[in-house]
Amino acid sequence: MALKRSIISLLILFQLLFSCRNDDSKPLSKRGLPVPEKKEATVSYKQLLETLDLLRQDPLLRDADLGYLIVDITSKDPVTVADYRAKQLMKPASTLKIFVTGAALEFFGKPIFPEVTITNQMSVNWRASKLLRKIGGKVYHTATTAAGVKAIMDFWTTKGVDTEGMNFYDGNGLSKNNAISPKQLVDALYAMRTSPYFQVFYESLPLAGMTGTLHRAMKGSAAQGRVRAKTGTISSVKSFAGYVHTVSGRKLVFSLIVNGFSCRVKLMKKKLESVMIRMAEI
């Protein structure tokens, strides 16, 4: 009996040590993620920063708009790892669904779990639009896109996300009239960590090399099984936003967006995947 109790105790300790939850997070400020000024890069970030430098200098991005923000949230005080035009409003494509699904979880709770999971894993546009209208009906008693947008903006503002300039034309990211900055995406992802539904939200995001829209991506690399991210793709737009548990055990939250590129989507996807692989290798 004593041996059995010891084994059970060890299993519980193991789960606590390796849980994906981060319970030491603190509430966000009114202006969003409290990102301090960038500290001098440590050796552990060197290869990632070099990869980002190469991306900015890539001839294929000469006439494109690139924006990103990568924040280390391992400790209770977030540290900016890399920041490039992070406050610039850009076309987000389907990474916009993060705002819809995150809000839906808190408005509807358990009954909406399957819908959120399918929406994020497979990036189902009509489901995201339906969720947006459903939120409008819940908050303003009118199930329209306009009502849903207003409810979502109000929701994320109360979560500490600075929504200034953000534009939701739809709930799925297909329209090029949508406008969200990399920082706003990171702020939303960071804010979700304090949600009672964080684990459901986290697991709804595709897992690199294993599930959803990332099931074939980055297989065999350090990113496989370590990067959970919402993908986004429309004409001349490619984006990723999500979380990384690195090889060394660090926790990152990130957003990468490219607008206006002229090369094949597959090639741009590979370029951004190289950044996510470097993140995982830290």
Q: Say what the pTM is.
A: 0.85
The pLDDT value recorded for residue 44 is 84
Cβ atoms of 68 and 86 within 8 Å: the answer is yes
Q: Are 238 and 64 within 8 A, CB to CB?
A: no
Instruction: Average pLDDT across each block of 10 residues of the chain; the chain has 282 residues. List them in order.
Output: 42 38 37 47 80 97 97 96 98 98 98 98 98 98 98 97 96 97 98 98 98 98 98 98 97 98 96 98 96
Which pair of structure tokens corresponds to residue 101? 């699904």
- CATH number for the domain formed by residue range(s) 32-281: 3.40.710.10
Rounded-to-integer distance, Cα 62 and Cα 214, Å: 27
Task: Give the per-residue pLDDT at 116.
Answer: 98
Give the burial class of 40: count Cβ atoms within 10 A of its Cβ; 0-12 exposed, 13-18 middle, 19 or more buried: exposed
Using the Cα atoms of residue 28, residue 95, residue 204 and residue 271 in order, give the sign of their dihedral: negative
Task: Yes or no: say if 99 and 150 are a contact pair by the CB < 8 Å rule.
Answer: no
